[in-house]
Every structure is written in structure tokens, then in C-alpha cells.
Structure 1
Amino acid sequence: MKQTAKDFQLLASVSDFTRFFGFPAPAHPLFTVIDLAGHQPPPESQQPALRQLYLVSLKRNLNGRLRYGHGSYDFSEGVLGFYAPGQLCASDYPAEAFDVTGWLLAFHPDLLARYPLGQKINGYNFFSYQVNEALHLSAQEETQLNELAASLRRESEQPVDAFSQDVLVAQLDLLLTYANRFYHRQFQTRRTASHDLLTRFEAELTAYFAASDSRPLPTVQHFADALHVSPAYLSDLLRTYTGQNTQQHIHQALIERAKHLLLSTSLSINETAFRLGFEYPQYFSRLFKNKTGFTPAEFRFSVQ
């Protein structure tokens, strides 16, 4: 059942967030660094809340293993998670189930409004990754990020002056740049799992277009759901290994299927478009021309 505004608490500020989860009040109105060691969330934090903040958390010692899809994930070592504004959240682990240590950054989008990072952060897809896609850190990487978090904490606790926001945003930009580097490293170092996902994606893509025609156009979400990953994670992994994101792979497979139909059947261009799942034939013709340099009719004629 769809949730309404009455079903969750709105956390519109950093102060709202810290109060709801029982964290210390922030020294800076738009930013805080929270020590997670020994924290016991209050009972009311079990209720869902809509958070209008960015969060970055480095957590250790989540006892046990988290199951997601067909995989099991060990969260006893340091992992870095990212959460964008507009997501529902709750303290959904029983307090006795873990003895978490680490830190949590919470910051309002207004902190970045006057800075290039305000636009740059939209390109960090890991803010849309799922919990099982958290960044696993080496000891050296964890040390680097801990040092940056400590520096951010010291700066956020200083009296606010004309340079406070500049310094906070610069240090936050550096932390996110390191995180981006570490994520790309993870795609490379966890090659077995990455290659397995790539193989499964290729199999899903082939199977979709090998099935009977007149199916809806496949979406990125369709393949992400089939592989039990987030759309952002799937696209980033594919781009790392193939140079193309998920949508580009879908278009490539779609064009190959279109070529087959144009050359092996007497279907009209409109009929071919409908067979492939296009609601409007002109969209099919536009995509085909963009990808091949020919209209569907020109392609059919060129090989006769």
C-alpha cells in the first residue's frame, strides 16, 4: 500500500535528523559528523522517515550477514554507504543485533548550492546504490577516509565564519572524490563477482530479445531487477568493463534485432517498430538512424 505523508516523519534539516535518531545536536546548521560507537537509537526511530539530506556512513561490526537477492554479504569489516535526499529511512536493525562503530556524515543540499560540487554530486551514482552494493574498504582506504572525516568534524565544530562553508565543501569534495576512486577500484579487484554479473546480464539481454516479439521495450530497471542490483550500480559496472552503460547495451541489442527483422521478414517499417515494442514508429526510425546512419528503409534497401 502506498504510504501517505501521515505515515512518515519528515526530516527536512540536519537538526531534525539528529533529533529523530537520538544523535547529538549539530554545531553547524547544514552539516554534522556523528560518532556511531555506542549509539542506541530511540524507539520512535523505528518509524519510517523521509530524509531530505545526503548521508555518508562508514560502519564496522554489523554482526552477522545481510541477505539480499541471491547473495549474502558480510558487513563485519568497514563499508561505506551513500544515501541521497528523498529516501525513506528507519532504524530497522534491533539495537541488540549489532555493535556498530564508525561515523556518519549528514549534510543538507543547501551546503553545496553555491559550489561546483552541487552539480558534481549528481554524477556520483553510488548515492543510488543499494545496501548490498556498499563500498568495501581496504585498511589503507579506511584510514584515509577516517582522517578526512575527523578533519570535517573539527571544522564543523569551529565557530562559523566567512570561510567555514568553503572549507567544509572542499574537504567533502575530496572525500567523495576518494570514494569514487575506491568504487572504481572495487569493480576491478572484485573481478570474479563483476564478471559473473556481466555474464548474467548478457544472458538476460539475449534471452529477452530471443523470446517472442511484440514485448514492451526493455528498461534498465527490468534488467537491474532480474540481476538483483540497482540500475545505477549495473550501469557503472558495465561502463567500467565495456565502455557502455546499460541503456546503450539495450539499444545495441535492439538495433541488432531490428536489422534481423528488416532483412528476414516482409514486415513494414511500422510493423517492425510495433513488433519490437515501440509505441510510436517514428521513435524507432529515429533511434535506428542515430545508431546506424541509415533509416530502416535505407538499411533494407542497401543490402538487397
Structure 2
Amino acid sequence: MNELQFPGLYIDDSANSHEILPYLYRSGYYCLILTDSLAEVCTKYGRLHYDYCDGTFIGYRPDTVCMEIFHPDLFKGRILEKTIEEYTFLSYALKEALHVSLKEKQILSSYVDDIRRELHYDTDSYKHTILTRHIIRLLDYATHFYERQFIVRELNNERLIRQYEKLVRQYIDEGKLTQEPLISAYCAEQLHLSEAYFNDLLELQLGHKHNCHIQLQRIEIAKEKIRSSGESLSQIVYELGFPSVQYFSFIFKKITEITPKEYR
């Protein structure tokens, strides 16, 4: 079995990494793949064909079957603007892979080359810091290009958002919130997305995440009911799944800046 070139880091340009990969996954390593050969596997995102055919970039969290593999311990003691968990694309599904242009592929490849080049230098007190900075830049550029991909797919994303809003409204109107919360994992499943991709999509398209959207929608429906129905406040609170009138009033005033009584 090949040895790690540096503690916590492994790079392989060959297709025959089967001996070491299972061990690395089980040991908590993250995997980044930049390839030409997987483009045909990721040819569709929903009804939208892939944006570029020059390469495909895929990230994997530990313990998944899957270029560069690194362990989060590599970053210990380093001052980071982000934690590894904040690079949410590492939890995206294969069909949500990043399809890169030739220029983007060259940029990602250049950072891998920087890492490879550093591995060949003698070990000194700066080697660890330089390697982690190269990996962070690679992750940051992948996030940057993913945001570009979200923008390119804006029309398809708007369709998904409409489906999501319809799902939320239907769930609330049917009184299901009185029985159980509408969790993001369920919404993602209904839209055929990974939960990580779904949450990033909401934040980029709506400016907030699922739980915040549920609150906003419940308040909007509450406003409709307060204006047009003769229902008591306690009945409205129950129908919308709030735990108490006091809690509802607190949320309502926080969002609208007036109390439910003043609104009515």
C-alpha cells in the first residue's frame, strides 16, 4: 500500500487507489476528485443538462465510497475563516457535482499542483502551514465555482423554490404542523436533492434557511387569518403549530414589529 506523502494528506493521479482508499475513508479522510471521466455520470441536474463538459469536481465526506484526500486534523492549530463542516458541497450528491469550465478546471488543477509541489520539498516548520493554505484555497475556489453554478441554473432553481413553497403551504394548510415539524430532510427528499444542496439553494435564492422560511410562512398565514377570519388567537396558534400564544406573540412582534392584537 502506498504511504501518505504527508501526515493527513494523500494525492493520487492514478485510477488504482483501491488499496488505500477504504482505509482512508474509515479513518475520517475527506476526498476531492477532479476528473474528465465522470462527466457522463453527472450529465443531468433535474431537467437541466450539465453546464460545462470540460471537467467534473466532486467532494466526499468520510465513510463514502469514492485525487486529493485530506484529514481534518491537518488543520488543527491553524486559524481558519471556515471549518471543514462549512464547506457544505462535501455533502452534495453525485448528481449535484460541480461541472467546471476549462478555465475553472485549470484554476483547481493549479492548486493541486501547488500542493504536489510542496510535498516534494523537505519538511520544515512552514510546510504544514503552506499545505493547509493550499487546501483551503482549493476548497474556497470550489465553493466560489459552485455559487456560479447556482446562478447559471437560476431558472431551474426558481422552479425548485416554487415547488418547495407549495410544499410548505400545503403542509401548513393541512394542519400537519400540529402533528410534527416539517424538517428540511423531508423537503429535500421531495425535491430529489441532498439536504446540504437544498439548504444552500434556499439560502442563495431566498436569503434564509428552511426553519426561518417556515416561521415567515406561518406568520404570513397568521396575518391572513387575523385579518379575514373570526378565529380566536389561540385557535390560530394551534392550527399553525406554535407551542403557545405567548411564543407566537413574541415571534409575531419580532417579525412585524407589532403585536397580533394591534395587527387585528
Query: Same fold by TM (over 0.5)?
Result: yes
Aligned to 1:55: 31
* Counterparts of residues 57-136 of structure 1 (less than 5 Å): 57-62=33-38, 64-65=40-41, 77-84=54-61, 87-90=62-65, 104-117=67-80, 119-136=82-99
Amino acid in the other structure paired with 1:241: Q
Structure 2 stretches lacking a partner, 5+ long: none
Shift of 1:175: 1.3
Amino acid in the other structure paired with 1:41: H
CA distance in 2, matches of 1:70, 1:184: 17
Shift of 1:162: 0.5
CA distance in 1, matches of 2:186, 2:244: 21
Aligned counterpart for 1:165 among listed residues 128, 133, 146: 128
Matched, 1:30 2:8: yes
Identity %: 27
SS in 1 for 2:12: strand
Aligned to 1:251: 215
After superposition, the Cα gap between the structure-2 partners of 1:135 and 1:64, relative to the gap in structure 1 and judged at 3 Å, is: closer
After superposition, the Cα gap between the structure-2 partners of 1:282 and 1:158, relative to the gap in structure 1 and judged at 3 Å, is: farther
Shift of 1:281: 5.3
RMSD over aligned Cα, in angstroms? 3.2
Aligned to 2:232: 267
After superposition, the Cα gap between the structure-2 partners of 1:126 and 1:292, relative to the gap in structure 1 and judged at 3 Å, is: same
Deviations 1:10-32 (A, max 9, x none): xxxxxxxxx5xxxx321101112
After superposition, the Cα gap between the structure-2 partners of 1:118 and 1:302, relative to the gap in structure 1 and judged at 3 Å, is: closer
SS in 1 for 2:181: coil
CA distance in 1, matches of 2:29, 2:244: 39
CA distance in 1, matches of 2:137, 2:9: 16
Matched, 1:189 2:124: no
Shift of 1:157: 3.4
When the two structures are superposed, what TM-score results if normalisation uses the length of structure 1?
A: 0.73
Aligned counterpart for 1:278 among listed residues 242, 246, 252: 242
After superposition, the Cα gap between the structure-2 partners of 1:190 and 1:266, relative to the gap in structure 1 and judged at 3 Å, is: closer
Aligned counterpart for 2:115 among listed residues 124, 131, 152: 152
When the two structures are superposed, what TM-score results if normalisation uses the length of structure 2?
A: 0.83
SS in 1 for 2:111: helix
After superposition, the Cα gap between the structure-2 partners of 1:63 and 1:168, relative to the gap in structure 1 and judged at 3 Å, is: closer
Shift of 1:73: 6.9
CA distance in 2, matches of 1:130, 1:246: 19
After superposition, the Cα gap between the structure-2 partners of 1:123 and 1:77, relative to the gap in structure 1 and judged at 3 Å, is: same
After superposition, the Cα gap between the structure-2 partners of 1:114 and 1:122, relative to the gap in structure 1 and judged at 3 Å, is: same
Structure 1 stretches lacking a partner, 5+ long: 1-18, 92-103
CA distance in 1, matches of 2:78, 2:206: 32
Shift of 1:185: 0.8
Kept in 1: contact 2:72–2:84 (CA 8 A)? no
Shift of 1:114: 1.5
Kept in 1: contact 2:48–2:156 (CA 8 A)? no
Aligned to 1:97: none
SS in 2 for 1:32: strand
CA distance in 2, matches of 1:268, 1:202: 25
Deviations 1:201-231 (A, max 9, x none): 2222232233345342322222111111123
SS in 2 for 1:58: strand
After superposition, the Cα gap between the structure-2 partners of 1:142 and 1:120, relative to the gap in structure 1 and judged at 3 Å, is: same
Could you list the structure 1 runs, at least 4 aligned residues long, displaced by more than 4 angstroms after superposition. 66-77, 279-283
